[in-house]
Structure 1
Amino acid sequence: MLNKVWFQLGIGLLLLILIVKNFMEISGLFEPVIIILTTIMIPVLLAGLLFYITEPLQRRLVRYMPKWASALAILGIVAVFIAIMASLILDPLIEEANKFIQNVPMIFQQFEAIVIQFLNDDGTFPIDLEQTFGSVLDSIEDIIIVGSSYLVSFLSGAVSAALTLILVPFFFFFMLKDHEKFAPALYNLFHGERREWVKKLLSEIDFALKSYVQGQVLAAFILAVLLFTGYSLIGLEYALLLALLAFLLNMIPFLGPWLAFFPAFVIALIQDPVLTIWVSLITLAVQQAESNLITPNIMGKKLSVHPLTVITLVLAAGNIAGFIGMIVAIPTYAVLKVIVINIYEKRQNIQKQIFKDVK
């Protein structure tokens, strides 16, 4: 029985629960460490995202210049790109965002009126359902209004946020300059076969993260451009804001596109109910292009993650760590999957070697 996989898995889960329970009891001791880690987590994640996006460019630049020079060149290119994009979209984006924040109460009132009218005309729903739905809409409206006030407060504190973002180019530069030193610093701690195994493991983790980040960002960008083009052609209000929201939400696999569809549908319903048909058709067309053309050609089947696994992980991570958790759930899973597969293969090889020696 001790050799059964499920028995070993059960023991492992029990040990994990005990470790988590004991850690939670003494978590106060680690509070300073946790504060430091949470402070640098976002800059490190953003720097890592930029590193994997620009890594193909750096591989070409290092053929003609030293690595530190290529890192500086990429920093300059990224800065120029951000400046150009800001000059093109920042003013209209801020204008749309301000207009949207001011119109949030009116949008929800109109949406509530449309839904209540639909329920009254249908005549098949009990009155308490209307009241319940209305209270739900009121709650959502309150949440959005409160969220909008937090957004305004956040924008007013942009100076302090800018100081925090100084860490992003700092981490980004050293990732570009010294990334090839990170893996050797780890696997050189080991010797012999174990060293080669750790080296192979780190290489596969790097490949999994690179494949996911580069593919997901490029796919999300293409989808956002397609949606912005479609929304602009049909005259949908807040087209740029909705496209930017779609870009961010499309970082979340499978669920992201449908989360991005809902606000566009609501805006279309309030602006002109006929537009809901066009928004639905545009979303359907873009999703078909994403499923059949964009994702297969950009990302392929490299991660081999089942859709049900993705949805479960994203929902669980969102419940634990919010939007950031939803974004990092799949790459974290991909890393853990690589580690587990390599450990399993290592164990299998050891067992085969033992049986061979016994024979």
Structure 2
Amino acid sequence: MENWPHKKLFFFLTLTILFLLAILLLVKLSPVIAAIFFFLSHLLLPFFISVIISYLLHPIVTKLHQRGVPRSIAVLLIYIVFFGSLAIILFHAFPLMITQMKELSEYLPNMVSKLEGWLENIRHNHEYPIPDSFQDGIDSTLENLEKKISTGFTNVTDWISNTIGVLFTIFLVPFVTFYILKDFKLIEKTVITFVPKKRRKEMIRLVKDIDEALGNYIRGQLLVASIVGIMAYIGYMIIGLPYSLFLAFIVAITDIIPYLGPFLGAAPAIIVGLSISWKMGLTVLAVNLMVQALESNVFAPQIVGKSLHIHPLFIILSLLVGGEIGGIAGLILAVPIFAILKVIFQHIGLYYSSRH
């Protein structure tokens, strides 16, 4: 028994080293994983969206069912309300957002040239001019940024213009979501049958722990991100920022990313503002600071509630790995995946600890 603390320390050190080696392997294999991720994201997109929507709506359906409403009726009610509201929002907002995205992609070269001219004036007229090497670096960065953004816009608009792909996704998502919600318990039982009987209790406990760790966080983050996007849109409209809906949509999407999200989301709007005038750029910055202050002090504490109990260093590490493998999508999924891995490793540790 005296050697047990040493064995325990050795075990957890080994587990940590294996975990770090797994991360290193993921980084090394990132081009292959990125290619697989790109293929699967296009192929399984309707099912992925359906699973996310089902995960969001399942607690509401369960509560209605516990109050005596038949599950099929509960699913149908929530289904009609959710997809009805979503259809109304998309019907009014989607065409405008696509128009603004196309207009912004066309305005991009003009915006970059304005920023370059603004930097050139500072370089020549300021009392302390910018060094040539630094100016060349800025010019190169702006040029690369313009190319990447233009390529991104082109890819998105090409996918949207592919009517068959969009219609296929729109058609499948409601049907798949309905059957996932309706037969949720049946799906759970079917999946459990693939697990050996002596491991089923452990697997059920693992799934419950993962759901407890992620459930409130994911639902809360999505709701907070939606509120942040709406507030940013209202603020952009008030100050008269062009392309306000599309820029607010970027703010909402990136807000899901911890720490980096607010900076990534605000950057495009601030750049557009600066291309108009100094005053507009500072006003856009002020709007984003106000929105983030409300999120941090009012909405996030009330809605998200419990944290994932992950140290900030590990969150940053997971964001670096996620960004390297999957870009923006990797950044969004990095923390939830890390939280799942954390729960799995904890269960593995407890399992081996109980055997000694």
**Same fold by TM-score greater than 0.5:** yes
Q: Which has the higher contact order (CA 8 A, sep 6+)?
A: 2
Shift of 1:92: 2.8
Shifted more, 142-151 versus 199-208: the winner is 142-151
- Inter-partner Cα distance in structure 2 for 1:15 and 1:241: 40
- Inter-partner Cα distance in structure 2 for 1:201 and 1:147: 39
- Report if the CA contact (8 A) 1:183-1:199 is conserved: no
* Matched positions, count: 342
**Match in the other structure for 2:175:** 170
**Match in the other structure for 1:254:** 259
Report 1:92-241 matches (<5 A): 92-122=96-126, 123-187=128-192, 189-191=195-197, 194-241=199-246
- Inter-partner Cα distance in structure 1 for 2:246 and 2:24: 46
Shifted more, 92-101 versus 291-300: the winner is 92-101
- Report if the CA contact (8 A) 2:319-2:331 is conserved: yes
Aligned amino acid, residue 111 of structure 2: I
Q: Against the structure 1 CA distance between its residues 115 and 286, is the aligned structure 2 distance closer, same or farther, given a 3 Å change threshold?
A: same
Q: 1:160-204: CA deviations, max 9, x gaps?
A: 232144332333222211222344445564446x43332221111
SS of 2:134's partner is helix
- Inter-partner Cα distance in structure 1 for 2:273 and 2:25: 50
- Report if the CA contact (8 A) 1:224-1:247 is conserved: yes
Please give the TM-score of this superposition, normalised by the length of structure 2.
0.84
- Report if the CA contact (8 A) 1:254-1:307 is conserved: no
2:58 counterpart of 1:55: yes
Shifted more, 159-168 versus 200-209: the winner is 159-168
Report 1:3-42 matches (<5 A): 4-5=10-11, 8-9=14-15, 12=18, 37-42=40-45
Q: 1:61-118: CA deviations, max 9, x gaps?
A: 3235432333333332232112210233234323322321221111111111112222
Aligned amino acid, residue 86 of structure 2: I
- Report if the CA contact (8 A) 1:269-1:276 is conserved: yes
Q: 1:201-221: CA deviations, max 9, x gaps?
A: 111112223212211101101
Aligned amino acid, residue 95 of structure 1: T
Equivalent of 1:277, from 274, 279, 282? 282
- Inter-partner Cα distance in structure 2 for 1:168 and 1:133: 44
Please give the TM-score of this superposition, normalised by the length of structure 1.
0.84
- Inter-partner Cα distance in structure 1 for 2:116 and 2:266: 18
Please, which runs of 5 or more residues in structure 2 have no aligned partner?
1-5
Please, which runs of 5 or more residues in structure 1 have no aligned partner?
352-359
SS of 2:319's partner is helix
Shifted more, 269-278 versus 59-68: the winner is 59-68
- Report if the CA contact (8 A) 1:261-1:283 is conserved: yes
Identity of aligned residues (%): 28
- Inter-partner Cα distance in structure 1 for 2:96 and 2:61: 33
- Inter-partner Cα distance in structure 1 for 2:12 and 2:267: 41
**Match in the other structure for 2:3:** none
- Inter-partner Cα distance in structure 2 for 1:170 and 1:40: 17
Equivalent of 2:297, from 289, 292, 309? 292
Q: 1:268-316: CA deviations, max 9, x gaps?
A: 1112211222222222222222222211111123311223322221221
Aligned amino acid, residue 233 of structure 1: I
Equivalent of 1:70, from 71, 74, 78? 74
- Inter-partner Cα distance in structure 1 for 2:312 and 2:254: 17
Aligned amino acid, residue 43 of structure 1: P
- Inter-partner Cα distance in structure 2 for 1:10 and 1:227: 41
Measured on the aligned residues, the alpha-carbon RMSD in Å equals 3.0
2:49 counterpart of 1:46: yes
Aligned amino acid, residue 201 of structure 2: E
Shift of 1:41: 3.7
Aligned amino acid, residue 57 of structure 1: I
- Inter-partner Cα distance in structure 2 for 1:20 and 1:275: 42
Shifted more, 11-20 versus 325-334: the winner is 11-20
SS of 2:355's partner is helix
Aligned amino acid, residue 70 of structure 1: A
SS of 2:14's partner is helix
- Report if the CA contact (8 A) 2:308-2:339 is conserved: yes
- Inter-partner Cα distance in structure 1 for 2:23 and 2:232: 44
- Inter-partner Cα distance in structure 1 for 2:288 and 2:24: 46
